[in-house]
């Protein structure tokens, strides 16, 4: 299933794009987006935060900011495939209910099925903690260190049916230092993520086609 690629509308600061942020963990990326939003006139507005459990620490950031936030744990269904599809349906329902125009994955640790991706393709964005196409998957820092990389960083990209394979929107580099642990590198990359992601979301909301033209041109 290869759904069509539909970009969000060009938003304005008086009518900002309605974004939903999806998280699984502590939500430091979410916090950086909410903070950026609160310090100026932006082309996007976070209307909903969703997590794949009720325990995700990041839900607290949303609540503090007065933003609706919902934990949607996996439903209790024995068949794994059915369970995954039902979970995505529940997420999709909430996204529709809030008239979501752009989905922002910020440390959301599940891979979406092609069924879900096809509904949101062009309006589904992720940040990955490496300079893609290098080190895709769940162990980017471990893989960068094992490879002896001297430069790493982060990548904002559209989500497609693959794992971290969608069109690249923006990247930011950080050095890998001698003796770095996975945690050291992760923290340094997160600083870069927190600077890059909110600005990139704002730029996409203002003029989404800019990013596609640049890729295809
Ligand atoms: C970030 O490094 C992100 O790139 C990766 O997961 C991490 C999420 O961290 N996909 P947090 O939950 O935003 O603190």
Q: Whose CA is nearest to atom 8 of ligand 1?
A: 107
Catalytic residue among 87, 128, 141, 157: 128
Q: What is the pLDDT of residues 130-139, one digit of tens each?
A: 999 999 999 9
Please give the pLDDT value at position 2.
Answer: 56
Please give the pLDDT value at position 212.
Answer: 79
Residue 5 CA to residue 117 CA, distance in Å, equals 10
Q: Where are the domains of the chain?
A: 15-120, 126-217
Pair type for strands 124-128 and 102-105: parallel
Q: Is 25 in the pocket of ligand 1 (CB under 6 A)?
A: yes
Say whether pLDDT at 217 is over 80.
no
Q: What is the CATH number of domain 126-217?
A: 3.40.50.170
Nearest atom (ligand 1) to Cα of 32: 13
Give mean pLDDT, residues 146-175: 97
Nearest atom (ligand 1) to Cα of 128: 4
Residue 201 CA to residue 29 CA, distance in Å, equals 12
Nearest atom (ligand 1) to Cα of 190: 2
Residue 131 CA to residue 120 CA, distance in Å, equals 24
Q: Whose CA is nearest to atom 7 of ligand 1?
A: 107
**Residue 168's CB: how many other CB atoms inside 10 A?**
18
Ligand 1 mean position, distance from CA 217 (Å): 31
> What one-character-per-residue DSSP string does 27-64 give?
-HHHHHHHHHHHTS--SEEEEEEEESSS--TTHHHHHH
Q: Which of 197, 188, 107 is CA-nearest to residue 152? A: 188
DSSP helix/strand/coil, 82: helix
**Residue 93: pLDDT band with limits 50, 70, 90:** very high
Q: Is the domain 15-120 a CATH 3.40.50.170 member?
A: yes
Q: Whose CA is nearest to atom 9 of ligand 1?
A: 107
Give mean pLDDT, residues 150-170: 97
**Residue 10's CB: how many other CB atoms inside 10 A?**
15
Q: Residue 139 catalytic?
A: no
Residue 3 CA to residue 39 CA, distance in Å, equals 36
Pocket test for ligand 1, best of 130, 190, 195, 200 (most atoms within 8 A of CB): 190
Q: What is the pLDDT of residues 30-53, one digit of tens each?
A: 999 999 999 999 999 999 999 999
List Cβ neighbours of 51 (8 Å cut-off, separation of 6 or more).
22, 23, 24, 58, 59, 69, 70, 71, 72
- Determine the angle formed by the axes of helices 182-206 and 28-38, rounding to 10 degrees: 40
15-120 and 126-217 agree in CATH topology: yes
Confidence (pTM) = 0.95
Please give the pLDDT value at position 216.
Answer: 45
Say whether pLDDT at 3 is over 80.
no
């Amino acid at each position: 299933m290869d759904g069509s690629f539909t970009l969000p509308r060009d938003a304005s600061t008086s009518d900002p794009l309605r974004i939903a942020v999806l998280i699984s963990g502590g939500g430091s990326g979410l916090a950086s987006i909410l903070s950026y939003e609160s310090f100026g006139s932006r082309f996007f507005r976070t209307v909903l935060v969703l997590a794949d459990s009720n325990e995700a620490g990041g839900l607290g950031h949303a609540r503090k900011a007065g933003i609706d936030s919902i934990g949607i744990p996996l439903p209790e269904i024995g068949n794994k495939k059915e369970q995954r599809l039902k979970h995505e349906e529940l997420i999709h329902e909430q996204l529709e209910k809030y008239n979501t125009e752009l989905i922002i994955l910020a440390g959301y640790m599940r891979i979406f099925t092609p069924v879900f991706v096809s509904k949101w393709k062009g309006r589904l964005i992720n940040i990955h903690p490496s300079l893609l196409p290098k080190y895709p998957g769940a162990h980017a820092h471990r893989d960068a260190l094992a490879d002896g990389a001297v430069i790493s960083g982060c990548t904002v990209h559209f989500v497609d049916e693959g794992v971290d394979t969608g069109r690249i929107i923006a990247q930011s580099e950080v050095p890998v230092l001698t003796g770095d642990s996975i945690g050291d590198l992760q923290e340094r990359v997160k600083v870069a993520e927190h600077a890059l992601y909110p600005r990139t979301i704002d730029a996409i909301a203002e003029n989404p086609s800019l990013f596609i033209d640049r890729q295809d041109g």
